[in-house]
A = this chain, B = another copy of it.
Amino acid sequence: MADHEVLLVRLRPEAAKIDDAMRADLAEVGNDLLAQVLRHGLFNGGKRVRPLLAIFASRLLPVRELGGIDENRLYRLAMVFEYLHAASLLHDDVIDRADQRRGKATVNKVWGGDAAILAGDYLHARAMLIAGSEGGQRALSLISAATSAMVEAEFLQMQNAEVQEFSEEKYFAVLAGKTAALIAAACETGIMVAGGGESEQLAARVYGYNLGLAFQIVDDLLDYLGDPDKTGKAVGNDLVEGKMTLPLIHVLETGGTKERGFLLDLLAADRTVRSANIAAVQAILANANGFGHARQTAVRLIDTARQALGRFPAGPAAEILHGLGQYVLTRKK
C-alpha cells in the first residue's frame, strides 16, 4: 500500500465514529421520508474529509493545553461540516440537474428537486443549531461565514460565466469560497474548541485553506489525467461542460497565439465539438505547461499548508495532517 492508503486505513475508525454521530442525530428526525432522504444524501461513500480535519486539528495541541472538550461534543461539532458539505451537494445536484453522484442516483433523481432542496435546508438548519450549541457563538460565526462565502463564490462564478471572463485570479477567488472556506473553517473550529488561541487558530486556518485549494486543483488535474475506472468520471468532463480550470486558464493566459486561438474557438463551440477534441486539448495543456503549472501550484500550496503545521508540536495529529497533504497530491480518485 502507498503511504496515503495506509493513512486512509488509519483514519477509518475515526470516520466510523463520525458516521455514528450522524446516525444518532438523524434518529431525531420526525418524518420518516425526510430521514430516508437525509440518509441517502449523507451515506454515499464520502470520505468525511472535513469532519476528520476538525477532529485532528483539535488534537494538535498537547493535552495539558486542552480546554477539556469532550469527545461526544467534538464528533457532533465535526459532523456539522459533513452536514454543510452534504447540504451544498444536495443543492448543487438540483442546480446541475445531476442524476448521479459517486455512482448512485442523486436525491433529486430519486425523490425530485423539491425533496433535495428541502433536505438541504434541513441539514443547514440542523448544522447551525449544533454549531451554536456545541461550539458557541464563535463556531457559529466561523461556519456561517464559510457558508456565506460559498454562496458568494457561486454568484461570482455565474457572473464570470456570463461575461466569459477568466483569469487565474478569478479562478482562485471562486475556489477560495467554494472549497477552501469550509475546509479552513473545519480546521479552525477544531483547534478553537480544543482551547487553541488566536495564533493557533490562524495556523490551522492557513493549513486548511491551502489544503482545500490544492485539493480542488488536483481534482481539476484528475479530470484531464485521471483513470476513469478510479475517478468514476469520464476524462475531459470539465472541458465538455465548458468549465474553466487552472490548466486551461494558464495556457489561455500564457500560451502562444496558436494554442490560445484553438482553445478559445473550442470553448465557443458546442459540447459535441469539445467532446471530440479532448485528446487534442490534453496534448496542448501538456505541452504548454498547463498541467505542469497546476501541479506546481498544488505542490506549493501543500508546502504552505505544511509550514503552518510547523507551529504545532510533533505528534500523531500533526503527522496525520501532514500525511493528508501528501494524500491530496498523490490521490488517484
Contact assessment for B34 and A152 in the assembled complex, using a CB-CB cutoff below 8 Å: yes
- Which A residues, 104 to 162, have Cβ-Cβ distances below 8 Å to chain B? 113-115, 117-122, 124-126, 128-129, 132-133, 136-137, 140-141, 144-145, 147-148, 150-152, 154-156, 158-159
Instruction: Kindly report which residue of chain B lies nearest to residue A133, judged by CB atoms.
Output: B137
- The interface residues of chain B lying within 8 Å CB-to-CB of A154 are 114, 118
Question: Copy number in this complex?
Answer: 2
| Among B94, B122, B159, contact of A148 (Cβ-Cβ < 8 Å) | B122
Take A152-B30, A156-B31 as given contacts and tell me if A137 and B147 are in contact as well, using a CB distance cutoff of 8 Å: no
Please give the number of chain A residues whose Cβ is less than 8 angstroms from any Cβ of chain B in the complex.
Answer: 43
Q: Say yes or no for A24: interface residue by CB 8 A criterion.
A: no
Contact assessment for A128 and B140 in the assembled complex, using a CB-CB cutoff below 8 Å: yes
Contact assessment for B91 and A118 in the assembled complex, using a CB-CB cutoff below 8 Å: yes
Min distance, Cβ A321 to any Cβ of chain B, angstroms: 27
| Among B29, B141, B148, B155, contact of A115 (Cβ-Cβ < 8 Å) | B155
Min distance, Cβ A4 to any Cβ of chain B, angstroms: 33
Contact assessment for A31 and B152 in the assembled complex, using a CB-CB cutoff below 8 Å: yes
Instruction: Kindly report which residue of chain B lies nearest to residue A35, judged by CB atoms.
Output: B155
- Which A residues, 233 to 292, have Cβ-Cβ distances below 8 Å to chain B? none
Contact assessment for A158 and B33 in the assembled complex, using a CB-CB cutoff below 8 Å: yes
Contact assessment for A94 and B117 in the assembled complex, using a CB-CB cutoff below 8 Å: yes
Contact assessment for A128 and B128 in the assembled complex, using a CB-CB cutoff below 8 Å: yes
Contact assessment for A141 and B119 in the assembled complex, using a CB-CB cutoff below 8 Å: no
Q: Say yes or no for A16: interface residue by CB 8 A criterion.
A: no
> What are 29 inter-chain pairs, A to B, with CB distance below 8 A?
A31-B156, A33-B155, A34-B152, A34-B155, A37-B155, A87-B121, A91-B117, A94-B94, A94-B117, A95-B118, A114-B158, A117-B117, A118-B154, A119-B151, A121-B124, A121-B151, A122-B152, A124-B124, A124-B125, A125-B151, A128-B128, A129-B145, A129-B148, A132-B132, A132-B137, A132-B140, A132-B141, A133-B137, A136-B137
Given contacts A118-B154, A119-B151, A129-B145, 9 further A-B contacts (CB under 8 A): A31-B159, A34-B151, A95-B118, A114-B158, A122-B148, A122-B151, A128-B129, A128-B140, A133-B137
